[in-house]
Structure 1
């Protein structure tokens, strides 16, 4: 399973694979980028850590949902 981070940049928000230099997706708002996640992960498995503007982790999502650990609250 690939790990991604959704975080704020000076130009907006980006989804970046852990360890990557370039962003996989970009958007002007966090809400817009979160709305693109399901389509981006269609046919893929991955985990996304969604950060707040201050850099702390707000939540973590797993795609597809069926790959969530059984004891996950989410």
Structure 2
């Protein structure tokens, strides 16, 4: 599958932006952090990665995982 690339919500000169880990530039730029979080969540659900939310000063506020659906763990018996 390759490395999973989490989606970061980061401050941007024009507001807030979504940025895929390792990407050189921002994905979507929005006016508010909440809009950026919503866009990042949609993308993270599709890509099965986490959303990492940064504060205005760039430090990490929190992260949400959409990669591991708890209901699917019981199917995997290793």
| TM category, shorter | 0.7 to 0.9
Deviation at 1:65, TM superposition (A): 5.2
Larger fraction in strand = 1
Any gaps of 5 or more consecutive residues in structure 2?
74-78
Judging changes above 3 Å, is the alpha-carbon distance between structure 1 residues 38 and 4 closer, same or farther for their aligned structure 2 residues? closer
Larger fraction in helix = 2
Question: What root-mean-square deviation, in Å, do the aligned CA atoms of Structure 1 and Structure 2 show?
Answer: 2.2
Q: TM-score, normalised on structure 2?
A: 0.70
2:41 corresponds in structure 1 to 38
Larger Cα-atom Rg: 2
Deviations 1:11-47 (A, max 9, x none): 1111111121122222111011112233323432111
